Structure 1
Amino acid sequence: MKQLLLKIFFVAALLSTTVLSAQKNFTMNKGGTKQKKYFTTIPYKDVKTKVIVQCHINGKPYSFIVDTGAATTITPKLYKELNPQVINHIPVIDQSGKTDSLQIVSLNSVQLGDVTFNDIPAMVLKETQLFDCYKVDGLIGSNMLRNSVVQFASQTRLVTITDKPKQLNLKSKYASKMLTDKGQSNPVIKIDVLNGEMHLTDNLLFDSGMASFYDLSYKGFKEVLATVNLLTIEAKAVGSYSFGLHGISDDEESYRLLAPELKINGYTFKNVTTITTHGSSSRIGAELFKYGTVTLDYINNKFYFEPFVNEAKDLAEKSWPFIPTAKDGKIVVGLVWDKEWEGKINQGDYIISFNGTNYENADICEAMVAEQVSTATKATLVLKDAKTGEVKTFEVTK
């Protein structure tokens, strides 16, 4: 039953980043491929929906996450090993909404499959817990992929990178227009959100580094979607539960919402639950790979989603009354949804056990990368009150 708590742990491990526009003349969109007319297929490991591939730098293998919602990024350890040229320092915002200034370096040569990328700008991290847990050395971002077509095939766990899209036999009926931003070529797609007669088209980021299916920006919800009553508000709370490149997010107001119907390239998903985040944009994440083959044609500005089945997919799910997070190496309550638990389950309370499994000395990395296999809907929760030290036991249900 250990997986039961891990299933709701680190609901959002947010790897994506956006270069702020303070330096208008700077762009991460530099460098390119050594080859022309290339076609390479690379096997990947799926770790908590993260697409992890092996690449080579200076002839040595390294593990990277393919993250279309980010610029190319390396860890401090890899920076020290490579000693690349520093080309800038710029402010960067992660998808939990936190901002920090990061070094930008130039990677002389990165080999991915049979393709070599030269002179690629990359950010150097300061906070590395997420990367240590996933055992990776960085991110392959959209600035590196911007002149290619990239296909994610989850059934075979293969990533294809090419500048010859015709070889992929892509079908126009599964395509829609895709835009990219000027700073780092992050892909922006359109989705349709429906509720009976009501309908809204939303522009949002396609983010292969995001573990969930649909994340709605708090700002977008409050300024647009909340004004037309398109989504059902299931719960509201103040707390912190997500991790970004700059560490854990600050305490913020969050909403848990239900979208009755959501369409991507005409394919229907029903009963989609989303939690607001305080990043700069709403996003569709890597859970989309479970339901079809995804292709990003950066060359022709097209986004393809070819579903595995024709029937609409119902994503209805129940939620626990709280979301865990990590604090000072311990698993704690990050956010409490249900009003009935106010004064009982409190933000910051230490999680001693969940359904009989002890978490007092749980490994944070194990919690972050563990696969989600439990279907349980009821559990015993034992907490240590963060203020009084009192040990409390509750029966919680979805």
Structure 2
Amino acid sequence: MRTLIKIAPFILLLTSCGGSKLENLLKSGNIASQEFSVTIPFEYKQGLMVIKATINDKEYDFILDTGASNVLSKELHKELGLKILDSEVVYGAHGTGQELEYTKVNTINIGGVDFQNTIAAIHDLNAVTEIACMDVDGIIGANLMRQAVWDFDFKNQKITITNAETSLDIPANHKEVKFFVGYQGTPSIITTVNGMRVLNNRIDTGYTGSLSLSRIEFQKLRNKNKLAKYVTGNGSASVGVYGAGKPTVFYRGLVDNMRFGNLELDNTVISFSGANSKLIGINFLKKYRVIFNWNTQRIKLIETQPYKNTTVNTYGFGPSFKEDKLYIKYIIEGSSAQKNGLEIGDQILAIDDADYTTITQNQWCTTLKNGLVDASKKAINITIQRDSVINKLNVDKTIVLQ
């Protein structure tokens, strides 16, 4: 069932410094076959694509993420007994860095295609509850994907992997945009937002949101009087590979025009947060069939349903999970949540008849999957505790930006 209260979006971004000692390693890899074209299914978990891949004749679940390099869970690395090649500080979407070790995987088989000698970081995927809920073994990243052409059919949840784009049936009316390739394979594009040119927008299937820019672009647009309509939020509005970001100010703005390649979007909501948030995510991409060709450095987009995101219609708060309890993690100004007195840090004890006084990790995983409130609800009663005081508040879903 479609939900009204969504958990903050994931951004499974992993980047290290260009020119680093791992740069050449991440460019390594090859495919055993000269000619191939295979089609595989994928499933959605927490809004991200998950595929099956085989290593040493055993099948594993991997997130498919154009915004990261390959990752193996610590458990899978131990199981495979792979040698450590090197280590480096790697940064997540919120600017937090950790030193990760890297290894080489001799063969990762996806749909019968052998991707050989690719590099993978080793990371504790259970350290972040939202990722642990997905029960995956790693991430297939752009450093592997760059070896082939990938055709994402989001509508039918299928992916075609081929050596040649000519093997694909591509309609003449497709949209197209040139992309630039980072050393770990991540594609980025140039966009124009209300006439302002923006560089290094990552096409990121590890981001469950739609269109996102940083606070720097927000300030530039405001300074140039090119963004009149926006709302402000406070708190932690996304979850990265190292956990939730620090509480901060974020924005949702309505831009008149956004353009990349020969694709134009009018009257579109964009999120503005952080310093590294220039992302085009899966909630936008899945309105299209999307073909990535790293050889030609082109992305083709074939519309399957209209993309329309012209309002922010929300209760105005988001939940987080910590030590078997739910808390308010962000508030949007001008929303019913803010007007009726909800504050960041309030413990959620109940929503209507659902008791959240204590909640297990398994129950939180179910909440991540289904949300807190179904689509038939237009108003809720929420019981919160602040310090030792318990209050019951009414919160409506309202349009805060249009």
TM-score by structure 1 length? 0.89
Q: Tell me the CA shift for residue 132 of structure 1.
A: 2.2
Alignment check: 8 A CA contact 2:269 2:309 kept = no
2:228 is the alignment partner of 1:227:
no
Query: How far apart, CA to CA, are the structure 2 residues paired with 1:78 and 1:331?
Result: 31
Query: How far apart, CA to CA, are the structure 1 residues paired with 2:86 and 2:40?
Result: 31
SS at match of 2:313: coil
Q: Tell me the CA shift for residue 284 of structure 1.
A: 0.7
Q: Tell me the CA shift for residue 339 of structure 1.
A: 5.3
Q: Tell me the CA shift for residue 393 of structure 1.
A: 2.2
Q: Report the more deviating stretch, 119-128 or 334-343.
A: 334-343
Task: Determine the structure 2 residue equivalent to 1:157.
Answer: 157
1:205-243 deviation digits (Å, cap 9, x = unpaired) = 000111111122223333x33322333453223311321
Query: How far apart, CA to CA, are the structure 2 residues paired with 1:337 and 1:245?
Result: 24
SS at match of 2:133: helix
Task: Determine the structure 2 residue equivalent to 1:177.
Answer: 178
Task: Determine the structure 1 residue equivalent to 2:15.
Answer: 18
Task: Determine the structure 2 residue equivalent to 1:46.
Answer: 44
Q: Tell me the CA shift for residue 13 of structure 1.
A: 1.5
SS at match of 1:237: strand
Task: Determine the structure 2 residue equivalent to 1:324.
Answer: 319
Query: How far apart, CA to CA, are the structure 2 residues paired with 1:120 and 1:389?
Result: 55
Q: Choose from 94, 107, 110 the match for 1:109.
A: 107
1:27-65 deviation digits (Å, cap 9, x = unpaired) = 422112121122111111123431111010100000111
1:45-93 deviation digits (Å, cap 9, x = unpaired) = 1234311110101000001111001111111111111121111111111
SS at match of 2:375: coil
Name structure 2 gaps, 5 residues minimum: none
Q: CA RMSD, aligned part only?
A: 2.5
Name structure 1 gaps, 5 residues minimum: none
Query: How far apart, CA to CA, are the structure 1 residues paired with 2:54 and 2:74?
Result: 17
Q: Choose from 264, 268, 293 the match for 1:297.
A: 293
Structure 1's 147 and 326: CA in aligned 2 closer, same or farther, altered over 3 A? same
Task: Determine the structure 2 residue equivalent to 1:94.
Answer: 92
Task: Determine the structure 2 residue equivalent to 1:368.
Answer: 368
Alignment check: 8 A CA contact 1:94 1:279 kept = no
Query: How far apart, CA to CA, are the structure 1 residues paired with 2:196 and 2:343?
Result: 36
Task: Determine the structure 2 residue equivalent to 1:338.
Answer: 333
- Structure 2 counterpart of 1:98, which letter? T
2:224 is the alignment partner of 1:189:
no
How many residue pairs match? The answer is: 387
Query: How far apart, CA to CA, are the structure 2 residues paired with 1:342 and 1:83?
Result: 55
Task: Determine the structure 1 residue equivalent to 2:34.
Answer: 36
Query: How far apart, CA to CA, are the structure 1 residues paired with 2:268 and 2:207?
Result: 16
Alignment check: 8 A CA contact 1:355 1:380 kept = yes
2:396 is the alignment partner of 1:396:
yes
- Structure 1 counterpart of 2:20, which letter? Q
Runs of 4+ in structure 1 deviating by more than 4 angstroms, as ranges, are none
- Structure 1 counterpart of 2:240, which letter? G
Query: How far apart, CA to CA, are the structure 2 residues paired with 1:20 and 1:329?
Result: 37
- Structure 2 counterpart of 1:114, which letter? G
Alignment check: 8 A CA contact 1:12 1:212 kept = yes
- Structure 1 counterpart of 2:391, which letter? V
Q: Report the more deviating stretch, 164-173 or 87-96.
A: 164-173
